[in-house]
Amino acid sequence: MENRKYLLNCWYGLGWATEIDDGQLLSRKILGRNLIAFRDAEGRPAALRDRCPHRMAPLSRGVLRDGVVQCQYHGLCFDGAGRCVENPLGPLPERARVESFAVVERDKMLWIWPGDAALADPDQIPDYSFQNHDGVDGDWVVFGYTHVEADYQLETDNLLDLSHTEFLHAGSFGGRGFIQNGEFQLRDFGNEIHSNWWMPDIPFIDPKTRTPTGKRLDHFLDMRWNAPSNMRLHVSFLPQGVHADRKDTKRDDLPGQFSAHIITPEDDGSCHYFWSANKPTGAGPFVGGLDKDAGLALFKLAFEVEDKPMIEAVEANMESDFWGEEPVILPNDAGGIRARRRLAKLIRDEQAAAGGKEAQADKQRLAQPAE
């Protein structure tokens, strides 16, 4: 892909693995490009540009048969690597090849590397292994998808500043006055940034009746961001005081609920939001109170009814790019701002490296004897 606005040598969520089961041909635009995804003859996920090289027909209008896509316009057939493997009307055309991308299936998600496939390193895919436990040992996982008409970084901003929970999610997660008394914790691990809240000794409010139970809890929200825009949240309510020593350490092993927030740019001003959440464990308002259906409904309410219209309204309200708007920066913006700056640097570095390679190629070409 040529688009220089986006980081290319990194993993983006392309879709849920189930979207290409049962011989389905998935059509999705990411980073401004129309793609298709499907399982090849060996069942491996494949991603191609959604464009037949003959007359530009979308291959997503084609037919998938035994892991091979046939263009419905004049019948050319392509495999998972984008090679033309059949021409019903004559010899195989030499140049007929569809652009293909590195795709990996992991933790129920299809991950795509839009840049140089030779650099695609599956070890860089962030961990979402909690997603593998749906139906295992009484656990459940809910999966969802929300299309958002806003720049993907506005979704990241939203997720890295959970203080909005109190106001925007007054009808779902928030409105109970916890976060105002919390401590914000920023942890920077380079391409991974944690934007956490530690809220000890809060009243245990019954989530159904919204009345205090008289008990006290320790509460935290740990949001992990991996470049470019893949997040995982760990929400926990613990018996008060028992885990007080975990205030400043990694808390992944503590009970709670994980949720995925995987954001992929669709195009300028729109993005895909893949989300999931598992069954909560531990203490507090979650446990026992939330079955799978209720969990799914709660997340849908929060992301589609509460977040989405606000984020889209912000997008519509912007007259220039983010910095051109001269936003007032508050202390709890630290995570979002850090992530924006990190990503901007990664994109700059990638472009500089690409420019360097091009310059080197030019130099080599000039060094050749003239023909």
Residues engaged in binding a copy of itself (CB under 8 A)? 34, 50-51, 53-58, 61, 70-75, 87-90, 93, 95-96, 157, 161, 163-164, 166-168, 179-180, 309-310, 313-314, 316-318, 325, 327-328, 330-333
- Contacted by 352, from ligand FES, a copy of itself, none: CB < 5 to 8 Å by type: none
User: Shortest Cβ distance from residue 89 to ligand FES (Å)?
Assistant: 9
- Cα–Cα distance between 151 and 157 in angstroms, integer? 10
Spell out a b/e string for 149-173, using b for 16 or more CB atoms within 10 Å of the CB, else e: ebbbbbbbbbbbbbbbbbebbeebb
Interface with ligand FES by CB under 6 A: which range of 66-74, 128-136, 169-177, 334-342?
Answer: 66-74
Interface with ligand FES by CB under 6 A: which range of 22-30, 49-57, 118-126, 289-297?
Answer: 49-57
16, β-bridge pairs = 109
- The total number of residues shown for the chain amounts to 371
Binding of ligand FES by 55 (CB under 6 A): yes
* Structural contact between residues 242 and 215, judged by C-beta atoms closer than 8 angstroms: no
Instruction: Please say which residue, 54 or 216, places its beta carbon nearer to ligand FES.
Output: 54
- Cα–Cα distance between 38 and 342 in angstroms, integer? 33
Count residues contacting ligand FES (CB under 6 A)? 9
- Cα–Cα distance between 339 and 188 in angstroms, integer? 9
Instruction: Please say which residue, 50 or 218, places its beta carbon nearer to a copy of itself.
Output: 50
Instruction: Please say which residue, 81 or 244, places its beta carbon nearer to a copy of itself.
Output: 81
User: Shortest Cβ distance from residue 354 to a copy of itself (Å)?
Assistant: 20
Instruction: Please say which residue, 74 or 357, places its beta carbon nearer to ligand FES.
Output: 74
Interface with ligand FES by CB under 6 A: which range of 24-32, 48-56, 173-181, 192-200?
Answer: 48-56
Binding of ligand FES by 52 (CB under 6 A): yes
Q: How far is CA 238 from CA 143, 176, 216, 288, in A?
A: 25, 17, 9, 14
- Cα–Cα distance between 344 and 346 in angstroms, integer? 5
Stretch 213-232 residues interacting with ligand FES (CB under 6 A): none
Binding of ligand FES by 73 (CB under 6 A): yes
Q: How would you class 268 by CB atoms within 10 Å of its CB: exposed for 0-12, middle for 13-18, buried for 19 or more? A: exposed
User: Shortest Cβ distance from residue 261 to a copy of itself (Å)?
Assistant: 17
* Structural contact between residues 154 and 40, judged by C-beta atoms closer than 8 angstroms: no
118, β-bridge pairs = none
Instruction: Please say which residue, 328 or 370, places its beta carbon nearer to a copy of itself.
Output: 328
- Contacted by 325, from ligand FES, a copy of itself, none: CB < 5 to 8 Å by type: a copy of itself
Binding of ligand FES by 71 (CB under 6 A): yes
Copy the structure tokens of residue 258.
Answer: 């994980």
User: Shortest Cβ distance from residue 326 to a copy of itself (Å)?
Assistant: 8
Binding of ligand FES by 102 (CB under 6 A): no
Among 36, 64, 76, 238, binds ligand FES (CB under 6 A): 76
- Cα–Cα distance between 101 and 116 in angstroms, integer? 9
Report DSSP letters for 318-366, one per residue: -SS-TGGG-PPPPGGGHHHHHHHHHHHHHHHHHHHHHHHHHHHHHHHHH
- Contacted by 92, from ligand FES, a copy of itself, none: CB < 5 to 8 Å by type: none
Q: How far is CA 346 from CA 10, 340, 349, in A?
A: 10, 10, 5
- Cα–Cα distance between 371 and 346 in angstroms, integer? 40
**Site of interaction with ligand FES (CB under 6 A):** 52, 54-55, 57, 71, 73-76
